[in-house]
Chains A and B, each alone.
Chain A
Amino acid sequence: MAQMNLLQAINNALDIAMAENESALCFGEDVGHFGGVFRATSGLQEKYGKARCFNTPLVEQGIIGFANGLAAQGSTPIAEIQFADYIFPAFDQIVNESAKFRYRSGNEFNVGNLTIRTPYGGGIAGGLYHSQSPEAYFAHTPGLKIVVPRNPYQAKGLLLASIRDDNPVIFFEPKRLYRASVGEVPEEDYQLPIGKAEVTEQGKDITLLAWGAQMEIIEKAAEMAKKDGVSCELIDLRTILPWDVETVANSVLKTGRLLISQEAPLTAGFASEIAATIQQECFLHLESPIERVCGIDTPYPLSLEKEHAADHLKVYEAIKRSINY
């Protein structure tokens, strides 16, 4: 096993995917020789040539439209959108085209080979246009899969699974952790299941649920709560769509309490969907209302990032609220 940061793990997964599958291509803005602004695609152009790893013009709708065409043709496009904040020009190509290709054609055509990689999230002093977590917009669209890894090991296994999944997948990478998160990652090929949450810590008093970079936050809050004698069960959702209702519901049946934390603003975020479903699944077992600890309902600010964020202290306070309800 090697020590890798999250970017190296992604680069390693892309390398494996391109080596095994000659129809796999990586492209996006600055993705070629430069290796992407975060260097996730470093070395791939040197290794696989300019035809398979290349810079595109600056046009997100073009990148995804082009990728849809490639995927429909049978290639395996792995398209990069430089920041998730800039995915919106491609919104039509993703929600009306990628997501509906198979359905509208009665499976005459599909873009199941498509993977869209994009860095998301805040905590990097990026202000409102370099910090957004837009997963909920896409979760409202049937036909897509949405995956968010929390560390290098997860990133490699989930990205390989996403590339090989026969559905279009949006793979949101927590950019705050790109270099900050380092861990043991096997150099060989492996996959982690899409659609399956992971219980990362067993507990009995309350279930804490998050995804991506927000996992660190709930872990920290759980540590604080532990000192108060509260035992938290931690779950990394890993896949936003389709999400693992069973694992979450089973945990809540055991603990009787649920707290969901997301970086994105509160209203109509994916935490809301989870709360509604779990309230239906576990109604008679709930000891307190389901807590959502989220960003506040404003654009992501630059100078008051910490105030805006769903940090560990806000999660900790919500744990106490839930326990003492």
Chain B
Amino acid sequence: MNTDIYKEGPVVHNAAFIDGHSVEIPILKILQQDGTVYQGAELPNIDEEHAVKIYKALAFHRALDERMIGAQRQGRISFYMAALGEEAASIGGAAGLEVQDMIMAQYREQGALIYRGFSLENFMNQMFSNEKDLGKGRQMPIHYGSNELNYMTISSPLGTQIPQAAGYAYGQKLQGKDAVTLCYFGEGAASEGDFHAGLNMAAVHNAPVIFFCRNNGYAISTPSDEQYVGNGIASRGVGYGMKTIRIDGNDILAVLKAVQLARAYAIEESKPVMIEAMSYRLGAHSTSDDPSGYRTKEEEEKWHAHDPLSRMKSWMLAQNWWDEAQETALFDQLREDILAAVKVAEKIAKPPVEDLVSDVYDQVPEHLQKQLASLKAHIKKYPEAYPLTAGRIK
């Protein structure tokens, strides 16, 4: 044990403050917008098959977002959150992991779930909160989760997954698993107390967790310069004594490279790592939000030019791993599939009334059994007032 808190630095006798802005953190960029790789850049491990899988996930995400925003506007679902412009961060993150690694996300990371193969039906069943939803129709749209795919179900309160990820990763380590936990959060959530608690716990207890901050510039209407001062979120990682890297979050190769390295380090050294992916939320915060009230079209246009999809596509074309005919066929097929899946999911019944009281505890306790019985009797008396469940009560 070393409790000499003065051991780190040189001694001086004239007062000199360290400027909070003085930490310089470089940003990793590998792929340029025109699809060429920066001179001297070191590529991640990626082959044609992997690249095509990643690109198909990006395309799926974009098509899903387009269609579901449309579905929300038509009143078919109550709410949606798109990830336009920052798909590479979530998909690249998952693509740099192994299947046994845990993903604990905030909410704008359905890309990771797409990459892991969550089916279109599963996405739809969750968004339409029907009886086939793995979450039993209890949460708002986009609150996905899958035990099978190692993707922890989303909780709305911001940042709560961050200390949990530290604990989850610590448990993986104790059990000797060849696995890490990747924890996504936004730069807004990095203001929450849970962020600081989580980083400190992970650092002190050497948890193999990858803290992945999607810095997309906005927390609803609040721009990052009203969210934090100092050198981004990465400097916080440094402050907690963590290996830290900042990357271009719209550069799929940079994301992949950083996560591959972070994973190897977290496993070998059994320590946490921080990645800050710089991106931009091109869309609204959610379908309940209108960004025209707080930012300019010019600003958005500037970021359209950094589209992560077109960047990867250009690279794929140059590698001869993709062509325009495949592109058109893929998007046509996706749009058709998604539309068809919407039509199926919206016709599936809502969860039965019994699902109201299940999973509150491991077993339905007596007081809830009584409340359910009295609710059923009440619904039988007024079937027209409870159309979702009335016809199904035995």
Residues from chain A with a CB closer than 8 A to the CB of B351 are 303-304
Contact A61 B226 (CB under 8 A): no
A314 CB within 8 Å of chain B: yes
Residues from chain B with a CB closer than 8 A to the CB of A313 are 378, 382, 385
Contact B137 A302 (CB under 8 A): yes
Separation in Å of the A162 CB from the closest CB of chain B?
A: 25
A130 CB within 8 Å of chain B: yes
Separation in Å of the A311 CB from the closest CB of chain B?
A: 8
B303 CB within 8 Å of chain A: no
Q: Which of these binds chain B: A27-35, A136-144, A255-263?
A: A27-35
B386 CB within 8 Å of chain A: yes
Known: A55-B226, A127-B140. A303 touches B388 (CB 8 A): yes
Contact of A30 among B220, B357, B379 (CB under 8 A): B220
B368 to A, closest residue via Cβ? A297
Known: A86-B157, A301-B138. A58 touches B188 (CB 8 A): yes
Assembled-state Cα–Cα distance A317/B357 (Å):
22
0/1 string, A127-163, CB within 8 A of B gives 1: 1111000000000000000000000000000000000
B122 CB within 8 Å of chain A: no
Contact B139 A306 (CB under 8 A): no
For chain A, the count of residues having a C-beta within 8 Å of the partner chain is 41
B353 CB within 8 Å of chain A: yes
Residues from chain A with a CB closer than 8 A to the CB of B227 are 57-58
Contact B158 A128 (CB under 8 A): no
Residues from chain A with a CB closer than 8 A to the CB of B367 are 267, 297
Contact B137 A317 (CB under 8 A): no
Contact of A32 among B155, B194, B226, B378 (CB under 8 A): B226
Assembled-state Cα–Cα distance A156/B371 (Å):
37
Residues from chain A with a CB closer than 8 A to the CB of B79 are 125
Contact A303 B137 (CB under 8 A): yes
Contact B350 A304 (CB under 8 A): yes
Assembled-state Cα–Cα distance A150/B324 (Å):
59
B387 to A, closest residue via Cβ? A306
Known: A30-B220, A58-B192. A304 touches B368 (CB 8 A): no
Contact A34 B293 (CB under 8 A): yes
B6 CB within 8 Å of chain A: no
Residues from chain A with a CB closer than 8 A to the CB of B357 are 296, 298
Contact of B221 among A55, A59, A129 (CB under 8 A): A55
Contact B388 A306 (CB under 8 A): yes
Residues from chain B with a CB closer than 8 A to the CB of A302 are 129, 137-140
A299 CB within 8 Å of chain B: yes
Residues from chain B with a CB closer than 8 A to the CB of A86 are 157-158
Known: A58-B191, A88-B157. A37 touches B288 (CB 8 A): yes
Separation in Å of the B388 CB from the closest CB of chain A?
A: 7
Assembled-state Cα–Cα distance A313/B193 (Å):
43
Q: Give the residue among A60, A88, A301 with the most B Cβ atoms within 10 A.
A: A301
A85 CB within 8 Å of chain B: yes
Q: Is the interface of A mostly helix, strand, loop or mixed?
A: loop
A307 CB within 8 Å of chain B: yes
A295 to B, closest residue via Cβ? B371
A49 CB within 8 Å of chain B: no
B224 to A, closest residue via Cβ? A57
B222 CB within 8 Å of chain A: yes
A242 CB within 8 Å of chain B: no
Separation in Å of the A29 CB from the closest CB of chain B?
A: 7
B17 CB within 8 Å of chain A: no
Assembled-state Cα–Cα distance A314/B376 (Å):
12
0/1 string, B223-243, CB within 8 A of A gives 1: 000111000000000000000
Contact A307 B353 (CB under 8 A): yes
Residues from chain A with a CB closer than 8 A to the CB of B355 are 304
A308 CB within 8 Å of chain B: yes
Contact A58 B155 (CB under 8 A): no
0/1 string, B129-151, CB within 8 A of A gives 1: 11000000111100100000000
Contact A126 B140 (CB under 8 A): yes
Assembled-state Cα–Cα distance A296/B355 (Å):
13
B302 CB within 8 Å of chain A: no
Assembled-state Cα–Cα distance A307/B220 (Å):
32
Separation in Å of the A138 CB from the closest CB of chain B?
A: 18
Residues from chain A with a CB closer than 8 A to the CB of B394 are none
Residues from chain A with a CB closer than 8 A to the CB of B371 are 266, 296-297
Contact B368 A298 (CB under 8 A): yes
A43 CB within 8 Å of chain B: no
A316 to B, closest residue via Cβ? B382
Contact A306 B386 (CB under 8 A): yes
Contact A307 B356 (CB under 8 A): yes
Known: A59-B191, A302-B138. A85 touches B157 (CB 8 A): yes
Assembled-state Cα–Cα distance A177/B158 (Å):
25
In chain A between 13 and 70, which residues have their CB closer than 8 angstroms to a CB of chain B? Answer: 29-30, 32-34, 37, 54-55, 57-62
Assembled-state Cα–Cα distance A126/B138 (Å):
10
B356 to A, closest residue via Cβ? A304
Residues from chain A with a CB closer than 8 A to the CB of B155 are 129
Residues from chain A with a CB closer than 8 A to the CB of B222 are 29-30, 32, 34, 55, 57-58
Residues from chain A with a CB closer than 8 A to the CB of B78 are 125
Additional A-B contacts beyond A296-B375, A298-B360 (9; CB < 8 A): A30-B222, A34-B221, A37-B220, A298-B357, A301-B138, A304-B137, A304-B351, A307-B386, A313-B385
- The 4 A-B pairs of least Cβ separation, nearest first, read A129-B156, A34-B221, A57-B191, A303-B137
Pairs A–B under 8 Å by Cβ, sample size 10: A29-B219, A34-B220, A37-B289, A55-B222, A61-B193, A62-B191, A296-B368, A296-B375, A311-B385, A313-B378
